Structure 1
Amino acid sequence: MDMSRRMALSALVAFAPICRTYARQAPADTYPNRPIRLISPYEPGGGVDIMARLVARNLGSELGVAVVVENRPGAGGVVGTQALTAAAPDGYTLILDSPSPLVVAPYLMKKLNYDPHKDLEPISLIADVPAVLLVKNDSPIHTVADLLAMARKAPGKLTFSSSGLGGTAHLSAQLLKVLADVDMLHVPYKGTAPAIQAVITGEVTMTFADMTAGLPFARNHQLRAVAVTTPKRTPALPDVPTVAETVPHYAASVWYGVLAPKGTPRPIIDKLNLALVKFVHTPEVNKMLVDEGAEPAGSSPEQFRAFLRRESERWGDVIRKSGLQPQ
């Protein structure tokens, strides 16, 4: 081998680690340089959609690019979540997701085309939100005790609406049924907004609406807030008791988190995580979330992944005890 070829080969060998380092760093160094799509897997106007638009606005400000919300509703959030798993793992398609498609759907759907624990990259939790039990203003139900007494007097006669199978309202009611040993009839709707409207029109007795969607109806007295589902009362409705004050050990909430497709480079995950956690804990956003009944979260990807495992086990147990079967 002549000297020029040896020198060229030596240069290539010396340059290889630099190339590998650049390859690892380049995605995060240049990311993002175009708009990001944030999937909201539910209809406009519901709690997930409201939170998705808050995230999009603030994440876009942190990253310096537009973050555009795309509603992909269907099958209790499964359609939108499945769309994420089919997206390129480049950081330009994310999802603002909730318990139903991530920890409930595997127990309630026979054919689920993704594994929430293998096909998604958790980035950060955003907030934990109570649900609020809402009834008509002229309803005889003023307390959880009233509700349970009526349910026991006429099993299966009380009706509750939900945004669909496995949604916040459905699981909150199922947990109450299991812990209080009562029977109530589930009436699913296509989204949170029509589920709430069904209470207003008297089509159903009640609903458990996540706070971001249900709070305005309680505050303007369109509906009566009977109880909240978290262990402690919420500052947003300080005079409204918890379900647990009547039914010990009751605790349910809807949480929101941002995820990416499996295989998204870790430097991009870390950059997104830093931006999300930063804006969640800014005084303005923190106050906005608390005022809307939410508890700001923010987490590492590893904490979010472990949280998903725990939630999956917890709600899987509730689903088994309630006798719900996969469809």
Structure 2
Amino acid sequence: MLGHLFRRTLPPTLALLGITACAISSAAAAQPAAWPPKTVRIVVPFAAGATPDLVGRVLADQLHTQYPGSTFVIENKPGASGNIGTDTVAKAAPDGATLGISIPGPLAINTLLFPKLPYDPERDLAPVTLLTRMPSVLAVPATAGIGSVDEFVAKVKSDKGGFAYASIGAGSLSQLCMEAIAQKAGAAMVHIPYAGSPNAMTALIRGDVQAACLPAISVAPQHAVGTVKILAVTTPERSPFLPDVPTLKESGIDVQSDAWNALIAPAGTPPELITAIHRAVEAALADPAVVTKLKTQMMMPEASTPEVLRQKIADEKRSWADVIRAAGIKVQ
């Protein structure tokens, strides 16, 4: 009863103060998270000059333009097929000050290749957004006299397992793509890994290997001058950068290999921070200068929701599990 009387006789000034405090609290809760901090570290789990590094630097430059009061620092931490740098992100404070650039390997494929990882991609990382997509291509030396995927398959089968292909490393997407092609074609090939696309391309041009599946930007210049022949793109649809080149599926080999880069954060990063980072990065990717820079590298900007990126990671694991198992691919 007394409590009831007290509420009825509360002075108007106190009642107004209570209403005002609630309004302030609600308004504060509705405000977007304060991001970026003074310094944001963007960890790239590959060496300087690699595609993820390029994407990270383009993004960092644009974010600095959008937020001149903040510094965006690229930190290259290569090693163990991207696992070392990715682990750095996984173990960082979830405060928006550390982000990571990643690709299918450290987020999905490596869970199928390595007996143990120092992080769990699902438990220890928070997806933010896809960043870019780029086509890979199936290519052969021009001197091989192979003009189509059909001719390529016939040649591989006739070589009875002696047909050699280059990749950019054991367990890389370039190896998995070639093994998937071999499995679909009912043929066998010899894998020769190289330390990156430039070395693999040199081997292809010299004829040290008979084929490779590599990023289109690595192959297109040599295709243009006639030293190698691009037979197909690995993306689900034709690439706007190579509109006259058919997809593998069009050519009778149902293999799709989508090379992409993405932005991740440590698990536990508050949802409001993830939203703020996502909005900033989405705006950066839409900037015409960024679009132009990426197109020179045959990359298309492609922002996504965190949920879409999470599903993309799950799809990668599912699509490559059988290929890895059938080929017996392991990375120690």
Task: Determine if the TM-score, normalized by the shorter chain, exceeds 0.5.
Answer: yes
Could you say which residue in structure 1 is the equivalent of 2:257?
252
Deviation at 1:111, TM superposition (A): 1.6
Percent sequence identity is: 33
Q: Decide which structure has the larger Cα Rg and report it.
A: 2
Query: Are positions 1:275 and 2:262 aligned together?
Result: no
Distance 2:62 2:219 in 1: 23
Query: Would the alpha carbon gap of residues 220 and 82 (structure 1) be closer, same or farther in structure 2, given more than 3 Å must change?
Result: farther
Distance 1:53 1:234 in 2: 24
* 3-state SS of paired residue (1:171): helix
Could you say which residue in structure 2 is the equivalent of 1:59?
63
Deviations 1:264-304 (A, max 9, x none): 22222111100111222334433554564334321111221
- Determine which of 312, 321, 329 is the counterpart of 1:324: 329
Distance 1:69 1:204 in 2: 35
> Structure 2: any 5+ residue segments left out of the alignment?
1-16
1:128–1:255 Cα contact (<8 Å) kept? yes
Could you say which residue in structure 2 is the equivalent of 1:49?
53
Deviation at 1:178, TM superposition (A): 1.9
Letter in structure 2 aligned against 1:98: I
Deviations 1:133-172 (A, max 9, x none): 2333323333222221121011322222222222221121
* 3-state SS of paired residue (2:126): strand
Query: Are positions 1:215 and 2:210 aligned together?
Result: no
Query: Would the alpha carbon gap of residues 112 and 52 (structure 1) be closer, same or farther in structure 2, given more than 3 Å must change?
Result: same
- Determine which of 161, 172, 179 is the counterpart of 1:167: 172
TM-score computed with the length of structure 2 as normaliser = 0.83
Could you say which residue in structure 1 is the equivalent of 2:139?
134
* 3-state SS of paired residue (2:38): coil
Query: Are positions 1:190 and 2:204 aligned together?
Result: no
2:142–2:229 Cα contact (<8 Å) kept? yes
Letter in structure 2 aligned against 1:43: A
Deviation at 1:325, TM superposition (A): 4.4
Letter in structure 2 aligned against 1:39: V
Distance 2:309 2:259 in 1: 14
* 3-state SS of paired residue (1:245): coil
Deviation at 1:177, TM superposition (A): 1.5
1:234–1:293 Cα contact (<8 Å) kept? no
Deviation at 1:240, TM superposition (A): 2.1
Distance 2:151 2:121 in 1: 39
Could you say which residue in structure 1 is the equivalent of 2:4?
none
2:129–2:264 Cα contact (<8 Å) kept? yes
Deviations 1:35-54 (A, max 9, x none): 32222222333322222222
Query: Are positions 1:301 and 2:285 aligned together?
Result: no
TM-score computed with the length of structure 1 as normaliser = 0.84
Deviation at 1:220, TM superposition (A): 4.9
* 3-state SS of paired residue (1:172): helix
Q: CA RMSD in A?
A: 2.9
Query: Would the alpha carbon gap of residues 249 and 85 (structure 1) be closer, same or farther in structure 2, given more than 3 Å must change?
Result: same
Query: Are positions 1:177 and 2:177 aligned together?
Result: no
Could you say which residue in structure 2 is the equivalent of 1:35?
39
Could you say which residue in structure 1 is the equivalent of 2:3?
none
Could you say which residue in structure 1 is the equivalent of 2:11?
none
Letter in structure 1 aligned against 2:323: V
2:125–2:264 Cα contact (<8 Å) kept? yes
Distance 1:175 1:209 in 2: 14
2:177–2:257 Cα contact (<8 Å) kept? yes
Aligned length: 314
1:89–1:261 Cα contact (<8 Å) kept? yes
Deviation at 1:112, TM superposition (A): 1.0
1:75–1:164 Cα contact (<8 Å) kept? no
Could you say which residue in structure 1 is the equivalent of 2:238?
233
Letter in structure 2 aligned against 1:225: I
1:177–1:184 Cα contact (<8 Å) kept? yes
Deviations 1:9-57 (A, max 9, x none): xx9xx989979997x799932x323232222222333322222222222
Distance 1:37 1:223 in 2: 39
Deviations 1:175-217 (A, max 9, x none): 2122112111111223333222332343322221123444344
> Structure 1: any 5+ residue segments left out of the alignment?
1-10
Deviation at 1:81, TM superposition (A): 1.2
* 3-state SS of paired residue (2:249): helix
Letter in structure 1 aligned against 2:67: L
Deviation at 1:122, TM superposition (A): 0.6
Query: Would the alpha carbon gap of residues 92 and 155 (structure 1) be closer, same or farther in structure 2, given more than 3 Å must change?
Result: farther
Could you say which residue in structure 2 is the equivalent of 1:6?
none
Could you say which residue in structure 2 is the equivalent of 1:154?
159
Could you say which residue in structure 1 is the equivalent of 2:270?
265
